[in-house]
Amino acid sequence: MSKPKNVWKIFFKDKKHGGHRCSSEEFLSLEAREKLFHLDGGKTLLDFGCGSAELLTYYALEYEQLVGVDFSPSMLEEASRRIEKKKCQNINLILADHETLWKNLDSSFDRITAAGVIQYLTFQEIDTFIFEASKYLNKDGKIVFFDILDSRLYPLWKIGVFSRDTNVFKILCKIGFEFRTMISASFKNRPKDILGFSHNPYTIEKIANKHGFKMTYVQSMYYEYKYHAIMRKT
């Protein structure tokens, strides 16, 4: 059976857009504004898993130099088009994954971020990512992981607990549907959930503390089942 990271590479190899709740520029602008609030300054930024640069081009308005990284060629093709359209001349793009990224960098950053990406990594891979990222973080820098699936809330969201018109019958139907989907995915060697793994924030915090970071987490404004992990060196 393939490792999860290989499954995700196959899954995303021809994707062209990120998994935002809405693709309108109005929504992307609002989502970026929330994330910029938590990034809270700095002059240089590394965006791992930048996808088609839907948020990166908004970050570019606030940073002097940015690097966007993704392992999907199709995503980076879309990112290049968007960057050119938005006339962002302060963004460089790199084709790499969480393992090959570091050997492609020749500078450090004030902010290292990833939005909707960490749930595609295992805890061991997250541990390694934070360890490597700390080597490329400037003094007073921050690592910020946005939109991590909350293992306490995501299962409830999936079965419709947060829906306006939810009832017991609909919840039971969704439980049955999710169970069938997981069984089918196992037989076909596909991701059991296209949104990735859900992670408890306290587990992420332990990993951050291990590498000398103080972490706080806050609920996402636009995704009721996700949270942001904000890490700063102690």
Global model pTM greater than 0.85: no
Tell me how far apart the alpha carbons of residues 190 and 2 are, in angstroms, rounded to a whole number: 9
pLDDT in tens, the chain (234 residues): 344 445 666 666 666 566 666 778 999 999 999 999 999 999 999 999 999 999 999 999 999 999 999 999 999 999 999 999 999 999 999 999 999 999 999 999 999 999 999 999 999 999 999 999 999 999 999 999 999 999 887 777 676 666 767 776 666 676 665 556 555 555 555 555 667 889 999 999 999 999 999 999 999 999 999 999 999 987
